[in-house]
């Protein structure tokens, strides 16, 4: 029998019960199926695929076609977790019609159950229209990497009173627009706690303290597989990148020295 998929109402129920929600990123079928096997609640096909896997400087160049390609691979490997497709830069900003069509592609072509998009008040009308067409939407406030050129850096957001109260207003606005959950990225833990308390939908924190309803990390960061830099908010649970390089070096050495293939690998 097919495993029961997690739904947006399950997540709201988890918030009510105080049960923490877990989310990690995946960009391929293998990693997604591992996460699903281990009981992750949400899998985000993040536009972070741009810097983590595709070699871009940031998330700006990531296209809809690239996202659909990766999202299709992810959904092939998932039975229980809810898969959220991240809407890339310029897939929802130009017009509401384009936004709905692109959001729809994640469900129709890639098998995702929801989409995520960045921004506050300025995107709430677009969100209302997407939700109105039957597509669950996750919001994203705080550090929004698609606005890197507007903010000019990746610093902590919501540090002063004015920014903090705007963010709280944005969170209320997103809830009103119909999002089922909001990612809070790189904001003071105190502010995240306040937002979490004031809205009825789950908050998922990344660099936003322990009081959010759930947590998300970039899987390649927490594995130590993406080694370029380590954000303060990310915890490395392993040094997989180092171990992989060790394997490659060993293989190269063994082939050069005719140690591999050995008798048992030969016919």
Catalytic residue positions, numbered = 185
Helix (H) or strand (E) holding 156: none
Q: Which two tokens stand for residue 195?
A: 């937002």
Residues that bind ligand KIV (CB under 6 A): 25, 44, 46-48, 86, 183, 185, 206, 216, 218
Nearest CA to 142 out of 121, 156, 125, 122 is that of 156
Of 46 and 173, which has the nearer Cβ to ligand KIV?
A: 46
Report the distance separating Cα 92 and Cα 89, nearest Å. Answer: 7
Cβ at position 180, least distance to ligand KIV in Å? 15
Of 25 and 126, which has the nearer Cβ to ligand KIV?
A: 25
Cβ at position 208, least distance to ligand KIV in Å? 10
Cβ at position 183, least distance to ligand KIV in Å? 5
CB 33 within 8 A of CB 78: yes
3-class secondary-structure state, position 219: helix
Residue of this chain nearest to ligand KIV (CB atom): 46
Q: What is the DSSP letter of 41?
A: S
Of 142 and 178, which has the nearer Cβ to ligand KIV?
A: 142
Report the distance separating Cα 51 and Cα 60, nearest Å. Answer: 10
């Amino acid at each position: 029998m097919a495993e029961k998929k997690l739904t947006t109402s399950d997540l709201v129920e988890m918030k009510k019960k105080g049960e923490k929600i877990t989310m990690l990123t995946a960009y391929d079928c293998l990693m997604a199926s591992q996460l699903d096997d281990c009981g992750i609640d949400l899998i985000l096909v993040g536009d972070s695929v741009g810097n983590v896997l595709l070699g871009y400087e940031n998330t700006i160049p990531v296209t809809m076609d690239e996202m659909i390609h990766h999202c299709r691979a992810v959904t092939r490997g998932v039975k229980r977790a809810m898969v959220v497709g991240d809407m890339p830069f310029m897939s929802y900003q130009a017009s509401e019609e384009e936004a709905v069509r692109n959001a729809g592609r994640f469900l129709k072509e890639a098998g995702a159950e929801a989409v995520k998009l960045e921004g506050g008040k300025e995107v709430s009308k677009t969100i209302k229209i997407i939700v109105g067409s039957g597509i669950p939407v996750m919001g994203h406030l705080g550090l929004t990497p698609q606005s890197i050129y507007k903010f000019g850096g990746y610093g902590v957001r919501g540090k002063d009173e004015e920014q903090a109260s705007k963010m709280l207003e944005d969170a209320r606005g997103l809830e009103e627009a119909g999002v089922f959950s909001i990612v809070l990225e790189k904001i003071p833990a105190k502010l995240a706690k306040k937002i979490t308390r004031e809205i009825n939908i789950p908050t998922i924190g990344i660099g936003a303290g322990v009081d959010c309803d759930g947590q998300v990390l970039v899987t390649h960061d927490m594995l130590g597989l993406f080694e370029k830099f380590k954000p303060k908010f990310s915890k490395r649970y392993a040094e997989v990148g180092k171990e992989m390089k060790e394997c490659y070096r060993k293989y190269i050495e063994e082939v050069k020295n005719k140690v591999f293939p050995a008798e048992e690998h030969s016919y």
